[in-house]
Amino acid sequence: MQKGSTSTTYRRIRQLFREIFDNDEMEISDDMSAKDVPGWDSLAQVKLVIGLEEEFGIKFTTHEVAQMSCVGDLRKTLACKGIPL
């Protein structure tokens, strides 16, 4: 996601990250991964997956979840499910 881009999908994902990591100022980028975010452990990953499924009314496969190693991967997976970026 380029800086300054504020698609509805991006804002919804960012809000979910802010809620899960309890940081109202958190910004996300496509290359951001668990190593970049304190507290992004396996439990936070599960919360992200469930939160995204609920937010967008979709279900991820185990394979899809395993392939998501950064925010960009997450967004690409959403796009493959018909969620506009």
Burial of 47 (0-12, 13-18, 19+ CB in 10 A): middle
pLDDT at residue 4 greater than cutoff 90: no
Interval 9-44: pLDDT, tens: 999 999 999 999 999 999 999 999 999 999 999 999
* Element counts in the chain: helices (H) and strands (E): 4, 0
Residue carrying structure tokens 């493959």: 80
Interval 41-62: pLDDT, tens: 999 999 999 999 999 999 999 9
Q: Which residue has the higher pLDDT, 83 or 3?
A: 83
Distance (Å, whole) CA 76 – CA 81? 9
Q: Which CATH class is domain 8-80?
A: mainly alpha
Domain ranges of the chain: 8-80
Looking at residue 6, what is its pLDDT? 60
